[in-house]
């Protein structure tokens, strides 16, 4: 059976070079980085070299990169510590954020006397920047948490505009950049971002490792206590092979960004054209059809299928060897629909199946042809 993997927003295939670099470390650099002997010093040197390389891509100092188990831990570290340690009493966010942010904020509301403001989004999922500026007038210690690239509909946040608004109003700015890092440049000397989260497995690196950018002198304190690893902000022995994996993956991502992003833009446009031609009644959710305002890595479509047929669509695609998703992989066990689409679609459209197709450099136009043919067949069956 032919198989097609179009769920790269959930996770990506690791590059061969990443696997090779990690295997070498696991075999040769197994010392604990906190040990003072030569084996430990060798591992420590690798960790710090990777930290320095990663920092260079964002034009920040190495001390501002803190390795974590992934984006979720990085989001938790920033949000929870900001409320506990920095006196943040007001968080501005949106209802279409990743659950790593939304559920953390929900818990913080329970634990602390915290005020939360949800900035409006329009029918395309675009943040209302004018309302955001008004919300920033609230005289509280405020942190804004808005994601760089929405993981379901692909909308891109104007990081420069939000950062400048936050700076002008003495607010902190955190962005979940999990879907953006490795796909877009971020110069942190130009952008007024105080914190962001990244995860290796979104740009062809290993699962289980990511990092938080924490701008120096913000005063955050650790969530995990024990040793003094990661500048004292995250106790626990560093996963050296994973850290080398994320550095290798990020290096390949940025070294090849122009050619690979161009390839993916053409692939996305081809998918949009082919699908629109085959299924004229199709609708594109959010701004996912717009290459200027959405990421080139995904498309989210609402298919013209009645509710009865909709319940089996993903299962039927899976039977045809096609991997895609109805939303975030983190909520795949939930019986509820997408909270993101629930904010922007009508009740009628929510009864239809919406599917996210997300691409990588390992996908081809031939695979798109196959997926479009299968969709056309299932819709018209």
Catalytic residue IDs: 330
Distance CA 256, CA 162 (A): 28
Bridge partner residues of 137 (DSSP)? none
Sign for the CA dihedral angle at 267, 299, 184, 359 comes to: negative
CB 300 within 8 A of CB 153: yes
Query: Residue 307 corresponds to which tokens in the numbers above?
Result: 């509710």
CB 79 within 8 A of CB 88: no
Distance CA 271, CA 358 (A): 11
Distance CA 227, CA 183 (A): 34
CB 46 within 8 A of CB 244: yes
Q: Would you list the DSSP string of 106-169?
A: HHHHHHS--EEEE--B-TT--B-HHHHHHHTTSSS-EEEE--SB-TTT-BBP-HHHHHHHHHHT
From residue 98, give the alpha-carbon distance in Å to each of 106, 129, 149, 281, 350: 12, 19, 10, 29, 19
């Amino acid at each position: 059976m032919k198989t097609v993997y179009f769920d790269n927003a959930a996770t990506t295939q690791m590059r061969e070079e990443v696997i090779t670099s990690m295997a070498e470390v696991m075999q040769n650099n197994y010392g604990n980085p906190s040990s003072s002997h030569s084996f430990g010093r060798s591992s420590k040197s690798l960790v710090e070299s990777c930290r320095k390389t990663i920092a260079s891509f964002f034009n920040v100092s190495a001390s501002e990169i803190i390795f974590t188990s992934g984006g979720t831990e990085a989001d938790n570290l920033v949000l929870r510590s900001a409320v506990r340690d920095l006196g943040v009493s007001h968080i501005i966010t949106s209802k279409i954020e990743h659950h790593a942010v939304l559920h953390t904020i929900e818990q913080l509301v329970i634990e602390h006397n915290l005020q939360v403001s949800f900035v409006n989004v329009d029918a395309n999922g675009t943040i209302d920047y004018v309302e955001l500026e008004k919300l920033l007038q609230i005289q509280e210690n405020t942190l804004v948490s808005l994601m760089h690239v929405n993981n379901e509909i692909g909308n891109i946040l104007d990081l420069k505009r939000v950062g400048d608004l936050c700076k002008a109003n003495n607010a902190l700015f955190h962005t979940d950049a999990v879907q953006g890092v490795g796909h877009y440049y971020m110069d942190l000397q130009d952008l007024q971002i105080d914190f962001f989260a990244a995860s290796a497995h979104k740009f062809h690196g290993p699962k289980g490792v990511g990092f938080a950018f924490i701008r120096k002198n913000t005063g955050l304190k650790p969530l995990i206590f024990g040793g003094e690893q990661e500048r004292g902000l995250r106790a626990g022995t560093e996963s050296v092979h994973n850290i080398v994996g994320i550095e290798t993956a990020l290096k390949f991502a940025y070294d090849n960004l122009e050619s690979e992003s161009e390839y993916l833009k053409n692939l996305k446009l081809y998918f949009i054209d082919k699908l629109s031609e085959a299924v004229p009644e199709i609708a594109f959710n959010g701004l996912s059809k717009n290459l200027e305002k959405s990421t080139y890595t995904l498309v989210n479509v609402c298919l013209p299928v009645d509710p009865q047929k909709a319940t089996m669509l993903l299962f039927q695609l899976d039977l045809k060897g096609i991997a895609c998703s109805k939303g975030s992989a983190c909520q795949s066990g939930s019986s509820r629909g997408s909270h993101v689409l629930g904010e922007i679609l009508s009740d009628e459209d929510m009864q239809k199946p919406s599917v996210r197709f997300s691409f990588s450099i390992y996908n081809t136009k031939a695979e798109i042809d196959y997926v479009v043919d299968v969709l056309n067949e299932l819709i018209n069956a």
